[in-house]
């Protein structure tokens, strides 16, 4: 059924920031929903986000087949190409003129904190230049750090990957405990610990990994860390630690780093691995051989471990962005709303981009134990519905002693 409200013109969509397993599901939600609205006369894609928009690198998404779109819903990475571009002087005017020339009346940008800022600035420039356009942000970040929204598309899938991988790595460490008794797993997460915390979602007993979890919200003390590792090793004979890539000491420095080796256009620093550094400290101070795993971008991209809940909600976020735009909302971002009740249900609303742009939702203190080195059952209750069903169930041998 065709719906009919709002401005008449083309819709343009772009993707920005770090790719995820489900960002293309949002893109397909946009394309398929746009076809239901007679106000939308065509759907354009900006290749590599704002950069492609400025360069005129545009494609006609209306020419894509339904078969391609159905496959794209379950294709990881960003099909249009992504970017980390910070708008420069004169860019806004060029973008608005591009919109005017192409009769673009709807602009949807799939991204996180920085993309929300870009979208907000574009909305303001269009208003100042007298070009009527509806601008909507579609949330995307594995960091799960956008304000207002209950959670972010992309998070459920990386959470599933990290939870399952931690259990698997834990079994390896348990088997090799006489030789490699300590393993440190370093996850993504930038300034928020949501990803590392998800490692605990597969833990069923004290033997299961992880045994210790460290987040950037808690100042990291090396001496206390060594005591924690020693205690767990004494109790069960091996230790699996999970930490975010930006755990910081009491002075605010990323552990093992004096300064970042790279800073992106938005001011985000990139650092050498704190896990690698801490492995050397554990071996030197405790005499225990330690290894580290750092999955890198594979953790945010694995379609094999993508969450069915995440895929469904990412698509819904794309759909609803179109509906909200056609209904007249602008300078807003779609947010996910968890309904109350015993069964998990999620709906959507929208919030001003100004409330989301350049802001971060940190991991709350009430989701950490008193020792601040592990998560609480409240976090497990919050995050479990997001990973889209049970993780694999493994067995341990009883190892009954031989009686001759």
* Nearest partner of 286 among 190, 213, 222, 334, judged by Cα: 222
- The rounded distance, in Å, linking the Cα atoms of 222 and 211 is 17
Q: How many domains, the chain?
A: 2
Tokens 């083309």 -> residue? 10
For residues 247 and 366, state if they share a domain: yes
- The rounded distance, in Å, linking the Cα atoms of 25 and 312 is 8
Range of the domain at 85: 9-146+305-355
Written as six digits, the tokens of 119 are 């979208």
Instruction: Label the pairing between strands 182-187 and 290-293.
Output: parallel
CB 93 within 8 Å of CB 119: no
pLDDT, residue 1, reads: 43
Burial category of 340 from C-beta neighbours within 10 Å (exposed 0-12, middle 13-18, buried 19 and up)? exposed
CATH number of the domain bearing residue 127: 3.40.50.450
CB 15 within 8 Å of CB 147: no
* Nearest partner of 59 among 75, 71, 43, 40, judged by Cα: 43
Q: How far is CA 385 from the centre of its chain?
A: 16
For residues 97 and 28, state if they share a domain: yes
For residues 296 and 330, state if they share a domain: no
For residues 30 and 133, state if they share a domain: yes
For residues 247 and 309, state if they share a domain: no
For residues 198 and 253, state if they share a domain: yes
For residues 108 and 72, state if they share a domain: yes
290-302: per-residue pLDDT in tens?
A: 999 999 999 999 9
Please give the order of strands across the beta sheet that includes 346-352.
Answer: 58-60, 40-46, 9-15, 104-111, 134-139, 332-338, 346-352
For residues 169 and 186, state if they share a domain: yes
**Which residues are the active-site residues?**
143
CB 59 within 8 Å of CB 53: no
Give me the tens of pLDDT residue by residue for the chain, a chain 404 residues long: 444 446 999 999 999 999 999 999 999 999 999 999 999 999 999 999 999 999 999 999 999 999 999 999 999 999 999 999 999 999 999 999 999 999 999 999 999 999 999 999 999 999 999 999 999 999 999 999 999 999 999 999 999 999 999 999 999 999 999 999 999 999 999 899 999 999 999 999 999 999 999 999 999 999 999 999 999 999 999 999 999 999 999 999 999 998 888 888 878 788 889 999 999 999 999 999 999 999 999 999 999 999 999 999 999 999 999 999 999 999 999 999 999 999 999 999 999 999 999 899 999 999 999 999 999 999 999 999 999 999 999 999 999 999 98
166-209: per-residue pLDDT in tens?
A: 999 999 999 999 999 999 999 999 899 999 999 999 999 999 99
For residues 254 and 284, state if they share a domain: yes
């Amino acid at each position: 059924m065709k719906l009919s409200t709002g401005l008449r013109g083309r819709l343009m969509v772009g993707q920005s920031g770090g790719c995820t397993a489900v960002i293309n599901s949002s893109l397909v939600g946009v394309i398929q929903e746009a076809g239901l609205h007679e106000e939308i006369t065509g759907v354009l894609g900006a290749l590599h986000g704002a950069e492609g928009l400025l360069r005129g690198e545009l494609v006609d998404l209306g020419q894509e087949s339904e078969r391609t779109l159905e496959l794209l819903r379950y294709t990881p990475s960003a099909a249009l190409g992504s970017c980390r571009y910070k708008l420069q002087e004169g860019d806004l005017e060029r973008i608005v003129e591009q919109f005017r020339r192409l009769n673009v009346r709807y602009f949807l940008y799939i991204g996180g904190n920085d993309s929300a800022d870009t979208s907000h600035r574009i909305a303001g420039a269009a208003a100042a230049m007298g070009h009527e356009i509806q601008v909507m942000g579609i949330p995307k970040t594995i960091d799960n750090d956008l304000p207002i929204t209950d959670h972010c598309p992309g998070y459920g899938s990386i959470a599933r990957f990290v939870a399952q991988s931690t259990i698997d790595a834990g079994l390896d460490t348990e088997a090799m405990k006489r030789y490699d008794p300590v393993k440190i797993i370093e996850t993504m997460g930038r300034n928020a610990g949501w990803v590392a915390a998800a490692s605990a979602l597969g833990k069923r007993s004290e033997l299961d990994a992880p045994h210790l979890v460290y987040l950037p919200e808690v100042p990291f003390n090396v001496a206390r860390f060594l005591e924690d590792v020693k205690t767990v090793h004494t109790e069960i004979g091996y230790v699996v630690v999970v930490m975010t890539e930006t755990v910081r000491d009491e002075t605010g420095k990323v552990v093992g780093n004096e300064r970042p080796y790279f800073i992106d256009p938005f001011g985000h620093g990139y650092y050498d691995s704190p896990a690698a550094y801490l492995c050397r400290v554990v071996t030197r101070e405790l005499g225990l051989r330690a290894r580290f795993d750092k999955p890198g971008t594979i953790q945010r991209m694995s379609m094999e471990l993508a969450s069915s809940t995440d895929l469904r909600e990412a698509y819904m976020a794309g759909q609803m962005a179109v509906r909200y735009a056609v209904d007249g909302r602008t300078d807003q971002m779609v947010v996910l709303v968890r309904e109350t009740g015993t069964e998990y249900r999620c709906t959507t609303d929208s919030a001003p981009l100004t409330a989301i742009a350049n802001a971060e939702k940190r991991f709350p203190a009430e989701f950490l134990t008193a020792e601040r080195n592990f998560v609480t059952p409240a976090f497990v209750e919050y995050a479990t519905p997001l990973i889209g069903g049970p993780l694999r169930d493994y067995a341990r041998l009883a190892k009954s002693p031989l009686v001759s």
